[in-house]
Every structure is written in C-alpha cells, then in structure tokens.
Amino acid sequence: MLPAGGALEQARKARDPRFDGRFFVGVRTTGIYCRPVCAVKMPRAENVTFFDSAAAATEAGYRPCLRCRPEASPGTPAWQGTSTTVRRALKLIDDGALDQGGIESLSDRLGVTSRHLNRLFRKHVGATPKTIAKTRRLQFAKRLIDETRLPMTEIAMSAGYGSIRRFNDHIKQTYDRSPTSLRQDRETTSPDSLTLRLPYRQPYDFDGILDFFAIRATPGVEAVDTGYTRTFLLDGEAGRIRVADNVGDLECTIEGGSSRSLMTILQKVRSMFDLNAIPDDINDVLLADSVLKKLVRKSPGLRLPGAFDPFEVAVRAIVGQQVSVKGATTVMGRVVELYGGESAFGRLFPTASRLAELRPKDLPMPEKRALAIRELARRVETGEVEFDHPDDDTFDESVLSIPGIGPWTAQYISMRARANPNAFLEGDLVIKKVAKRLFDTDREAEILHRADCWQPWRGYAGMHLWRYAATLNV
C-alpha cells in the first residue's frame, strides 16, 4: 500500500496518463481497484487507497474494474523500486517460473528460502509471489476474453491455468461473473490469426526502434517495412508475428504457433520493443547531463531495442565483432541459409542444438568467431549459459568465459538479450568517436566515469550516442 495524498492524489484527480500503470486506486466503498486514468465518477479522497501493483490491490481484497480494465494498462519495469532479489524474482515470474514450478523451486533459483522470499515480496511489492503469478494469469486471460474470439478452453491454456475448471473458478471469484458473460455472447472461433494490443507510454519513437531493427534484420527470418515481421518456433510450433504502431499501443498479429505460447510471445514482444519503459524517469536522469540533454530532447521517446530470441541476438553480437552492420547482416543470412529450419511461415533461425554442430569453414568470418558461436550454442544447449539467469554478474561471467567473447560482446548481449537498461558499451568504436566529439575524450575509463551519472539508464544514453553518430555518418 502506498501513502495517501501528495503526487499520487494529484495524478488521480488529473487522471494523468503518465502515471497509468505505475499505481492503482482502490475504492473502499466499492471494493474495486482502478487505473488512475479511469473515467468513472471521481471517488472522494478519504475513500481511496493507493497500491503500486495490481497484485497488491488483489492481495488487499479488491477486484479489478471492468470499465478501465487494469489488465490493459502499460507495464512497469520489474526493477522499479524493489530489492535485487525481488527484481530477479519478478523477472522469472514474468517469464512463467510459477506456471510450472512452485515457490520452492523459485526460491532455490534465487538462493533464498521461500519464507524469506515471501517476506521480501510483502515488503517491496505488497503481495506474495503466488498472488503476482495469479494476477498475471488472470490479467492475460481477461485480455484474451476482451480482445479475441478464442474459445475459453484455449484462453485457459494460453494463460497458464492447469484446467478449465480452475480458470472458471478464478474468473468467477474475481469478477462474480462467468467467463462467457464477460464476453457478452460474442461468437467464439479459433481464427488463423489474432491481433492483440500492447499499450505503451508516450512519447514512443516507434520509427526509431524500427530503423534499428531494419538494418539488423536477419535475412529470411525478419523483415521491416512500416512494421516488423518475423518467424518463430516456440513449444514445437512454428508461427509468424507482425508488430505495427497504432498510436498509443502496438498491434501484434500472431499467425500459427501454439495457444500455450501466446503469453510468451507477447512478453517477448514487450521486451523487444521496450514497452515497459517510463520515459519521464529515464529522461529526468539523462537530461541532468549538460551535453547529453541536447540529444535527449531531440529523441525523448527513444527506446532500448531488445530481443525476441535472445540466442539469435547473442549470435548476432559475435558476428558483429569488428565488422560493419551490413557485413554482419550478410553473415547472419548465411547462418540461416545453412543451418536454419523451414516452416509454412518462412525460414526459422537455427536452434542452439543445430548451431552446436556448426562448421567454421562454412561461414565467411574468422574461425575464432565461428568457434565462439559454436561454443555459445553448446553451452546454451547444456544450460551452462541461461539468458534468464536471475543474476547479471553470473550471466556475464558465463558469457565472458567463452573464448572469442570479450566485454563489448558481453555488454551488447546484456543490453539486448537481457534487456538490461544499464548495460553500456564504453569500448564501442562508434561511441568512442562520438565521445571524443562531445566529451573531448575517447579513453574508455573516462567515458565510463562520465557514464556514472547516467545510471541506471546507461543503455539509453548509449543509444542516444549511437543515434547521434548516425547523423554524422560516423
């Protein structure tokens, strides 16, 4: 529970969209919780309670508003205002850690007891890990009910419910209605494709992140025009997604794939397009730098490009060592041509098990780099390298131990494959050239020292420097 009054009360009264998804308003007289932008009649201040998450409101006994749909609000970064352990746990829960395993297995992965983890969650989030996971499933199911015509059985499986009965009971308990009554008798079908909306906070530079993906698109797998399209293989089923901007949210159209993969797909898209970012928080830090602020003001909606397939981006990072972006794209096309799979939706990027058999002589690149790709693939296949490992330092060490991978590659992988907002490539040649022009130094130690004041958003600062370099043709 958050303190009453102050900035939160002002944001509630103003229905300020900048705070949408950052806190929720519980109305004691109705037992309902809403987004701060909800258009219902304004409750009296003495009747409201503030929560920093939907799960916290649920834990306190409130049910979600059917009008403003809390499940449709923009996300909040998992690192926001929590301890390191809770931050790591939230990321794992978001990736579905509690859909298959229990709280004990999650605690083991984090190196703490389940009792201590529950205590940390209550302190920092206001809800238990179990409630967080249940709220996540419920919110996704509610979105599928509202935005698709999928049968209820498919929705239940897509949202991670173990049975249709458990799904029905949870919906009934939360909304006091059955799932079918929430849909209001709309026809149910299993369409060949479905489109879901993914909200974001303004400003959002969709064209900028699209440009980044366009020049790095893996031939045969990715394509960029007015939107982004790619093939995928998840849970043994191939498919294709297309992501386009619709002013205020992205529209993600999914063809093929398994219904069980829907939540994973949308989570990957959210990470790839950095939809949980809070521009005001990021820009407030970067604008404090007297030089960097000029770049930030030109691109206030800049986002950190993530990865749909972390392994694919890691391979790209190795391929891109000391070669042009165009040259790296050509090599990636060769990798797909030789080792990728076929599907009804187009070529698929090769799996780790396939690239673990890579023959260095097949690729137009130094043998050392080809061997690094093969070793990375082997370690990903055996679990020695885990992209979802909860500890950044441990992950970095596992990657850096691979011959042929140095600090630049490790930081690039951390920034994109792990969506680390603080990853910074101080040794990047382009960043060094820009730093020489802007900060009068190209020494890595001095650049890194300058970047101290950009934390925890150094990744965004690096993207601003890269974008500036593009205007100079550096």
Q: What does the pLDDT average to over 453-472?
A: 96
Tens-digit pLDDT profile for residues 382-429: 999 999 888 889 999 999 999 999 999 999 999 999 999 999 999 999
Q: What percent of the chain has pLDDT over 90?
A: 85
Question: Of residues 20, 34, 38, 274, which has the active-site annotation?
Answer: 34
Q: Per-residue pLDDT for 153 more than 80? A: yes
Q: Per-residue pLDDT for 79 more than 70? A: no
Q: What does the pLDDT average to over 115-126?
A: 91
Q: What does the pLDDT average to over 68-92?
A: 85
* pLDDT given at position 192: 84
Q: Per-residue pLDDT for 113 more than 80? A: yes
pLDDT category at 155 given cuts 50, 70, 90 is very high
Q: Nearest-5° angle of CA 469, CA 470, CA 474?
A: 55
Token duo for residue 412 = 């690039």
Q: Per-residue pLDDT for 458 more than 70? A: yes
Q: What does the pLDDT average to over 185-206?
A: 87
Least confident of 75-84, 236-245, 270-279, 334-343: 75-84
Q: Using an 8 Å Cβ cutoff, are 86 and 367 in contact?
A: no
Three-state SS at 266:
helix
Q: What does the pLDDT average to over 57-64?
A: 96
Strands 24-27 and 32-34: antiparallel
Q: What percent of the chain has pLDDT over 70?
A: 98
Look up 428 and say whether it is catalytic: yes
| The two domains 6-72 and 309-418 share their CATH topology (first three levels equal) | no
Look up 68 and say whether it is catalytic: no
Q: What does the pLDDT average to over 73-84?
A: 78
Domain range summary for the chain, segments of one domain joined by +: 6-72, 84-183, 309-418, 429-472
Strands 63-64 and 32-34: parallel
The residues, any chain, with a CB within 8 Å of residue 86's CB and separated by 6 or more, are: 120, 121, 124, 125
* pLDDT given at position 186: 66
* pLDDT given at position 81: 67
* pLDDT given at position 75: 87
Which CATH number among 2.40.30.10, 1.10.10.10, 1.10.340.30, 3.90.170.10 corresponds to the domain 309-418?
1.10.340.30
Calculate the average pLDDT of the chain. Answer: 94
> Could you tell me the sign of the dihedral formed by the alpha carbons of 128, 130, 131, 136, in that order?
positive
What is the CATH T-level fold of the domain 6-72, as seen in this structure? DNA Methylphosphotriester Repair Domain (3.40.10)
Give, for 157, the enclosing helix (H) or strand (E): helix 152-158
* pLDDT given at position 97: 87
Tens-digit pLDDT profile for residues 128-150: 999 999 999 999 999 999 999 99
Q: Is this structure's pTM higher than 0.85?
A: yes
Q: Using an 8 Å Cβ cutoff, are 236 and 258 in contact?
A: yes
Single-letter amino acid, residue 167: F
* pLDDT given at position 383: 95
Q: 26 has which bridge partners?
A: 33, 49
* pLDDT given at position 13: 95
What is the CATH T-level fold of the domain 84-183, as seen in this structure? Arc Repressor Mutant, subunit A (1.10.10)
Question: Of residues 94, 289, 309, 428, which has the active-site annotation?
Answer: 428
